[in-house]
Amino acid sequence: MRRRRILAICCMLASITTFAATPDDMATPALGEINLIHSVDDLETSIDFYTRFGFVPENEAAWSAQHAILRYDGFVLVLMQDVIPQRAMLHFVVEDQAAVEQAVADLAARGIKMNPAGPGDTQAFIEDPDGHAIYLSRP
């Protein structure tokens, strides 16, 4: 089970690299910091595992009984217990409201419509073809 989860994380990271490759005539969306939100069965067990794996706890004062934030070489892993229905979700944190709107517009030019995606929206969502959630928001 753990090997499958680690493999899933590696596959998602590989898909991020693939997503970043763009045709020359299209703007690359400015998607900001990338967080992987990972649903776990036991938060304490997962924190122990990922810290032994090399992740470093971050902003522990903001943790709750249901979530923790870990970082590995610039990569952010958010562990959540009993919070999200998916097993994993990508979260892109962009700079501000204008960046949300610009990223949504850049993605729309590529045929990717995020919902909600109207002017003034502070966040947008979409599911990939396999049902994994992708979430875009400002801090």
Share of the chain above pLDDT 90, in %: 9
Domain with residue 54: its CATH number is 3.10.180.10
In a domain, 71, yes or no: yes
Instruction: For residue 76, tell me if it sits in a domain.
Output: yes
Q: Return all residues near 36 (Cβ < 8 A) that are at least 6 apart.
A: 9, 12, 13, 75, 76, 77, 78, 88, 89, 90, 91
Specify if 53 maps to a domain: yes
> Does residue 86 form part of some domain?
yes
Q: Is the pLDDT of residue 19 over 60?
A: no
pLDDT at 100 over 90: no
- Please determine, for residue 71, whether its predicted confidence score (pLDDT) is greater than 80: yes
Residue 63 — very low, low, confident or very high, per pLDDT cuts 50/70/90?
confident
Q: What range defines the domain where residue 36 resides? A: 32-137
Q: Which residue has the tokens 């924190």?
A: 47
Lowest mean pLDDT, pick from 56-65, 92-101, 115-124:
115-124
What pLDDT is stored for residue 25 in this prediction? 56
Please report whether residue 19 resides in a domain: no
Q: Residue 60: inside a domain, yes or no?
A: yes
